[in-house]
Amino acid sequence: MNRSEKRDRDASPATIVIAALLAAIAGFGTVYVSFAPSDNGRLAVLPTKQGEGPPPEPSVAGAGGASSQSPLAGLNKGAMAAFVARSKPLDLPTIAFLDAKGDTKSLSEWHGKIVLLNIWATWCVPCRAEMSTLDRLQAALGGKDFDVVAINIDRGGGDKPKSFLAETGATHLQLYTDPPGKLFGTLKAVGMPTTLLLDREGREIGRLVGPADWDSPEAVALIKAAIAAAGSA
């Protein structure tokens, strides 16, 4: 009998169990790192398709901190603690989707406005509670300077999304859909819902992964700061 066979035979059941637990913990840590924000507040990203590479990371600290280069500095607190601002606006790829009539829309149609671009789905439980806050934000601030553009990514027609908006009492939001469900990947989103704040040129100036109270005082202050900064640029 060689030494390796002897070690295998002598290994106690307790040793085997401990080894298995350590392996499981290590595996859990890998999943956590892949799906959760890292300690420095930057967004963790899922693996992308070959050749795409990861999206440029926001360079602003997490809750309570922000880059001095950002006009949104210091506003990621309270209900907006998970909001991560970018020190420099990020150009986005062309984004096309459908309206309630089935006509193709493009974000370029909102050029000149601050836009809160929200990605949601009917199967997303947190989206249900968030939708009413987005609706109230649109009612309060929507107009010539700002709009909430909430796009559903269910694969299929618009009947379920339309019912969803009705059930949540979202009467101020327009129905927009992405039936192929490609928008999630196009924006390199890492969770549902995902919300991007865009400047008047259609560039991303920050994003928040997960649900939020978008009609909170902190959210309103964030949006008003974005509008004021864009107006003085």
CA 107 centroid distance within chain: 17
Q: What is the pLDDT of residue 69?
A: 66
Q: What is the pLDDT of residue 177?
A: 96
Each residue of 12-36: b (16+ CB within 10 Å) or e? Answer: eeeeeeeeeeeeeeeeeeeeeeeee
- CA triple 218-220-226, angle to 5 deg: 105
Query: Are 90 and 17 contained in the same domain?
Result: no
Q: Does residue 132 fall inside a structural domain?
A: yes
Q: What is the pLDDT of residue 59?
A: 39
CA 184 centroid distance within chain: 9
Query: Are 103 and 184 contained in the same domain?
Result: yes
Query: In 88-124, where does DSSP find H-type helix?
Result: none
- Give me the phi and psi of 129, to 5 degrees please: -70, -35
Q: Does residue 87 fall inside a structural domain?
A: yes
Q: In angstroms, rounded to a whole number, what is the distance separating the alpha carbons of residues 125 and 121?
A: 9
- For residue 93, give the CATH number of its domain: 3.40.30.10
The mean per-residue pLDDT over the stretch 121-150 comes to: 97
Query: Are 108 and 18 contained in the same domain?
Result: no
Q: What is the pLDDT of residue 90?
A: 96
Query: Are 226 and 135 contained in the same domain?
Result: yes
Query: Are 212 and 102 contained in the same domain?
Result: yes
Q: Does residue 27 fall inside a structural domain?
A: yes
Query: Are 207 and 103 contained in the same domain?
Result: yes
Burial class (CB in 10 A: 0-12, 13-18, 19+), 200: buried
Q: Does residue 214 fall inside a structural domain?
A: yes
Tens digit of each residue's pLDDT (9 = 90 or more) over 3-47: 544 444 444 444 443 444 434 433 333 222 223 332 223 333 333
How many C-beta atoms surround the C-beta of residue 61 within 10 A? 15
The mean per-residue pLDDT over the stretch 103-107 comes to: 95
Q: Does residue 56 fall inside a structural domain?
A: no
The mean-pLDDT minimum among 51-65, 100-114, 140-154 falls in 51-65
Query: Are 24 and 100 contained in the same domain?
Result: no
Q: What is the pLDDT of residue 71?
A: 81
Q: What is the pLDDT of residue 157?
A: 81
Task: Tell me if residue 19 falls in helix, strand or coil.
Answer: helix
Query: Are 29 and 84 contained in the same domain?
Result: no
Query: Are 125 and 206 contained in the same domain?
Result: yes
Q: Is the pLDDT of residue 226 over 60?
A: yes
Query: Are 91 and 189 contained in the same domain?
Result: yes
Q: In angstroms, rounded to a whole number, what is the distance separating the alpha carbons of residues 42 and 62?
A: 7
In which band, very low, low, confident or very high, does the pLDDT at 231 lie, cut at 50, 70 and 90? low
Query: Are 85 and 28 contained in the same domain?
Result: no
Residue 12 belongs to what domain range? 3-35
Q: What is the pLDDT of residue 232?
A: 54
Q: Does residue 45 fall inside a structural domain?
A: no
Q: In angstroms, rounded to a whole number, what is the distance separating the alpha carbons of residues 40 and 19?
A: 31
Q: What is the pTM of this model?
A: 0.72
Query: Are 111 and 190 contained in the same domain?
Result: yes
- Cβ atoms of 180 and 39 within 8 Å: the answer is no
Q: Does residue 115 fall inside a structural domain?
A: yes
Q: What is the pLDDT of residue 225?
A: 96
Q: Is the pLDDT of residue 136 over 80?
A: yes
Tens digit of each residue's pLDDT (9 = 90 or more) over 46-93: 333 333 333 444 434 343 444 446 789 889 999 999 999 998 999 999
Q: In angstroms, rounded to a whole number, what is the distance separating the alpha carbons of residues 232 and 113?
A: 13
- Cβ atoms of 76 and 41 within 8 Å: the answer is no
Written as one letter, the residue type at 176 is Y
Tens digit of each residue's pLDDT (9 = 90 or more) over 188-221: 999 999 999 999 999 999 999 999 999 999 999 9
Q: Does residue 64 fall inside a structural domain?
A: no
Q: In angstroms, rounded to a whole number, what is the distance separating the alpha carbons of residues 182 and 43?
A: 20
Q: How many domains does the chain have?
A: 2
Q: Is the pLDDT of residue 147 over 90?
A: yes
